[in-house]
Chain A
Amino acid sequence: MSVKVWVAVATALLAVLLVPPLLTPGADSGETNQVRALRVLVPNAPGGGYDITARTAAKAMEDADLLRNAEVFNLPGAGGTVGLGRTVGERGNGKLIMSMGLGVVGAVYTNKSPNSLLDTTPIAKLIEEPDIVVVAKDSPYTSMQQLVDAWKANPGTVTVGGGSAPGGPDHLAPMLIAKAVGLEPKTVNYIPFDGGGELLASVLGGKVAFGVSGVGEYRDQIQAGTLRVLAVTSKDRIEGVDAPTLQQSGVDVEFTNWRGIVAPPGISPTDRAKLVEVFQNLQKTPQWEEALQRNGWTDAFAPGDEFGTFLENENKRVATVLKDLGLA
Chain B
Amino acid sequence: MEQLLDGFATALTPTHLLLAAVGVLLGTAIGVLPGIGPAMAVALLLPVTYGMEPTGAFIMFAGIYYGGMFGGSTTSILLNTPGESAAVVAAFEGNPMARKGRGAQALAAAAIGHFTGGIIGTILIVLLAPFVAKHAVDIGAPDLFAVMVLAFIAVTSVLGASRIRGFASLLIGLTLGLVGLDEMTGQQRLTFGSLHLADGIDIVVVAVALFAVGEALWVAAHLRRKPFEPIPVGRPWLSKADLKRTWKPWLRGPVIGFPFGAIPAGGAEIPTFLSYVTEKRLSKHKDEFGKGAIEGVAGPESTASASAAGTLVTMLTLGLPTTAVAAVMLAAFQQYGIQPGPLLFQRESGLVWALIASLFIGLTLLLVLNLPLAPLWAKLLRIPRPYLYAGILFFASVGAYAVNADIFDLLLMFVIGLLGFGMRRYGLPVLPAIIGVILGPAAEQQMRRSLQLSDGSLTGLVNSPMAVIIYVVILVILFFPLIKRFLPKPPAAAEPEREKVDA
Question: Residues of A with Cβ closer than 8 Å to B?
Answer: 45-48, 51-52, 55-56, 58-59, 73-79, 81-82, 85, 110-113, 156-157, 159, 165-167, 189, 191-192, 194-195, 197-198, 200-202, 204-205, 207-208, 216-217, 219-221, 223-224, 226, 293-295, 327
Q: Smallest CB–CB gap between A5 and chain B, Å?
A: 12
Within 8 A of A (CB), among B185-200: 185-186, 188, 193, 195-196, 198-199
B334, A82: Cβ atoms closer than 8 Å:
no
**In the complex, which residue of chain B has the Cβ closest to the Cβ of A216?**
B334
The interface-forming segment of B43-51, B218-226, B246-254, B477-485 is B43-51
A201, B198: Cβ atoms closer than 8 Å:
no
B320, A220: Cβ atoms closer than 8 Å:
no
A77, B185: Cβ atoms closer than 8 Å:
no
Q: Smallest CB–CB gap between B145 and chain A, Å?
A: 13
B453, A208: Cβ atoms closer than 8 Å:
yes
Cα A224 to Cα B140 in complex, Å, equals 23
A219, B136: Cβ atoms closer than 8 Å:
no
Candidate in B43, B140, B141 with the most chain A CB atoms within 10 angstroms: B43
Chain A residues whose C-beta falls within 8 Å of the C-beta of B324 in the assembled complex: 45-47
Chain B residues whose C-beta falls within 8 Å of the C-beta of A112 in the assembled complex: 188, 193
Candidate in A45, A59, A224 with the most chain B CB atoms within 10 angstroms: A45
Partner of B39, one of A47, A157, A207: A47
Chain A residues whose C-beta falls within 8 Å of the C-beta of B459 in the assembled complex: none
B50, A59: Cβ atoms closer than 8 Å:
yes
Chain B residues whose C-beta falls within 8 Å of the C-beta of A82 in the assembled complex: 195-196, 198, 404, 406
Partner of A111, one of B39, B181, B337, B404: B181
Contact with A along B178-213 (1 / 0, CB 8 A): 000101111010000101101100000000000000
B405, A198: Cβ atoms closer than 8 Å:
no
Partner of B140, one of A77, A110, A207: A207
> Is residue B3 within 8 Å, beta carbon to beta carbon, of the partner chain?
no
B188, A198: Cβ atoms closer than 8 Å:
no
Cα A252 to Cα B210 in complex, Å, equals 54
Within 8 A of A (CB), among B272-300: none
Q: If the complex has contacts A82-B195, A195-B327, A294-B335, are A223 and B343 also in contact, measured as CB distance less than 8 A?
A: yes
Within 8 A of A (CB), among B301-360: 314, 318-322, 324, 327-328, 330-331, 334-337, 339-344
Q: Smallest CB–CB gap between B173 and chain A, Å?
A: 21
Cα A82 to Cα B405 in complex, Å, equals 12
Cα A255 to Cα B119 in complex, Å, equals 46
Within 8 A of A (CB), among B34-75: 39-40, 42-44, 46-47, 50
A78, B453: Cβ atoms closer than 8 Å:
no
Chain B residues whose C-beta falls within 8 Å of the C-beta of A224 in the assembled complex: 341-343
Chain A residues whose C-beta falls within 8 Å of the C-beta of B265 in the assembled complex: 194, 198
> Is residue B455 within 8 Å, beta carbon to beta carbon, of the partner chain?
yes
Cα A220 to Cα B337 in complex, Å, equals 12
Cα A207 to Cα B314 in complex, Å, equals 18
Cα A156 to Cα B451 in complex, Å, equals 11
B341, A220: Cβ atoms closer than 8 Å:
yes
> Is residue B456 within 8 Å, beta carbon to beta carbon, of the partner chain?
yes
> Is residue B264 within 8 Å, beta carbon to beta carbon, of the partner chain?
yes
Question: Residues of B with Cβ closer than 8 Å to A?
Answer: 39-40, 42-44, 46-47, 50, 136-141, 181, 183-186, 188, 193, 195-196, 198-199, 264-265, 314, 318-322, 324, 327-328, 330-331, 334-337, 339-344, 404-406, 449, 452-453, 455-456
Chain B residues whose C-beta falls within 8 Å of the C-beta of A195 in the assembled complex: 321, 327
Q: Smallest CB–CB gap between B33 and chain A, Å?
A: 16
A85, B319: Cβ atoms closer than 8 Å:
no
Q: What are 8 residue pairs bridging A and B, where the CB atoms are less than 8 Å apart in the complex?
A: A46-B324, A73-B405, A111-B181, A197-B264, A198-B320, A219-B339, A293-B337, A294-B336
Q: Smallest CB–CB gap between B279 and chain A, Å?
A: 29
A201, B195: Cβ atoms closer than 8 Å:
no
A167, B406: Cβ atoms closer than 8 Å:
no
**In the complex, which residue of chain A has the Cβ closest to the Cβ of B405?**
A75
Q: Smallest CB–CB gap between A285 and chain B, Å?
A: 14
Partner of B186, one of A45, A59, A167: A167
A78, B319: Cβ atoms closer than 8 Å:
no
Query: What 6 A-B pairs are tightest by C-beta distance, nearest first?
Result: A46-B43, A220-B341, A78-B198, A166-B186, A205-B137, A47-B328
A78, B47: Cβ atoms closer than 8 Å:
no
B334, A295: Cβ atoms closer than 8 Å:
yes
Cα A244 to Cα B148 in complex, Å, equals 41
**In the complex, which residue of chain A has the Cβ closest to the Cβ of B142?**
A207
B455, A59: Cβ atoms closer than 8 Å:
no
Cα A31 to Cα B43 in complex, Å, equals 33
B455, A157: Cβ atoms closer than 8 Å:
yes
Q: Smallest CB–CB gap between B161 and chain A, Å?
A: 38
B137, A201: Cβ atoms closer than 8 Å:
yes
Cα A110 to Cα B314 in complex, Å, equals 32
Cα A301 to Cα B449 in complex, Å, equals 38
B328, A220: Cβ atoms closer than 8 Å:
no
Partner of B318, one of A51, A85, A201: A201
Partner of A46, one of B44, B50, B405: B44
